[in-house]
Homo-oligomer: A and B are copies of this chain.
Amino acid sequence: MENEPLLMLPGPVPVPERVRAAMLRQAINHRGAEFGGIYADCVRVLKGLFGTEHELFVLSGSGTAAMEAAVSNFCRERTVATLVNGKFGDRLQKIAERYGTAVPVASDWGTPLDLDALECALEEGAEAVTLVHNETSAGIKNPAPEIGAIARKHDVLFIMDGVTSIGGDTVEADRWGADVVLTGSQKCLAAPAGLSAISVSPRAWEMLVADRPFYLDLAAYRKSAAKSPMQTPFTPAVPLYCALREACAIIEEEGLEMRIARHRRMAEAVRSAVRAWDLELFPTLDGIHAYSNTVTAIRIPGGISDADLRGAVKETGIIIAGGQDHLKGRIFRIGTMGAVGAPEILATLAAVERAFLRLGYTPEGDGVQAAAGVLG
């Protein structure tokens, strides 16, 4: 534990020492063969996690930079149907508004998306749809395959934010018909914060706009990636690429299927604890929306404040997340992403249970043992 607080957030997540140690090495020339090899290794592994055979680039910027790259390179002055049922869907909508016309297809945070409304927006001429696959702010997993099918039926661009699903849950970008897919380094990949990755389908390249940003110009990324050795158009954040390559090596060693199964089991363990406590999971679902397998959002029981709850948990050395924006004070969130496993989950649930008791709330049953049953 290194006497550092344990981050059980929906990102940033604990970074394995091997990955951090990869940043210790001396600076290298980012135009040389060694850097090219590191970049190529990252791309090869990430394509597997994305489920894509399309071009993929690693950007020296956070997931938000990749969101902006997606919208600004392909949707400037276009009409975009933006699916929103949480904070990150809302962020994609805000970005779409800066570059073109956004047609919000919005539901309450944590509730199912309205696919009929999406069909209407596309029938009325929207040329693209944006989706957050796993909505971190609300703990809901949105139905990407179904939305991909609608996008393909209408032949529109499908931009998918996989920031908190890729590497922790099944993503099949090509099979689902997703054109532009993106993720961040500090979530399920368990690498340090600061990089993002984006894949681009041939259909998306056909929609590339002329008036692109400079730093996030994906045509420039494409041109530099085609060089030998592989390069980035501008100076990359070299230590973070070294770390990401190591994180990718760990993912390959674990195996993607095993990794996804582990993430599912961790989230299921948290949900079992919530049921045992007789608390309420925040999302409301239908047949195609699901609970997130990488972050669980839980309603805070009556009589307990968010600050007290998270403060009491923090005394145990564990950091959990509160709600964002209008959900602040109403929910708390436990991330189950990256390298963490049964010990961290059990410790976190035990710390939450202890906090409940200290704050005068007696849960219905034993959440820790319920989770242990799932993890064991």
Give the B-binding residues of A (Cβ under 8 A).
2, 4-5, 7, 9, 11-15, 17, 20-21, 23-30, 60-65, 67-68, 72, 94-95, 98, 184, 186, 192-195, 211-216, 234-240, 243, 319
Contacts and interface: CB of A to CB of B under 8 A. Distances in A.
Contact of A62 (B27, B68, B236): B236
Contacts of A67: 214
B27 A234 contact: no
A64 B235 CA distance: 8
Which applies to chain A's interface (DSSP): helix, strand, loop or mixed?
Answer: loop
A55 B60 CA distance: 24
Contact of A184 (B7, B27, B215, B235): B235
Contacts of A13: 27
A12 B28 contact: yes
Contacts of A2: 26
In the A-B complex, the 4 residue pairs with the smallest Cβ-Cβ separation, listed nearest first, are A194-B237, A64-B234, A23-B23, A62-B235
B15 A26 contact: yes
A304 to B, nearest CB: 22
A214 B69 CA distance: 10
12 contacts: A7-B27, A14-B26, A60-B194, A61-B215, A62-B215, A65-B215, A94-B214, A95-B214, A194-B239, A195-B237, A237-B237, A237-B240
Given A12-B238, A65-B61, A98-B211, A24 B27 contact: no
Contact of A98 (B17, B20, B98, B214): B214
A257 to B, nearest CB: 26
Contacts of A21: 24
Contacts of A65: 60-61, 215, 234
Contact of A235 (B7, B12, B15): B12
A23 B27 CA distance: 13
Nearest to A62: B235
A239 B30 contact: no
Contacts of A95: 214
A29 B10 CA distance: 11
Contact of A64 (B68, B184, B215): B215
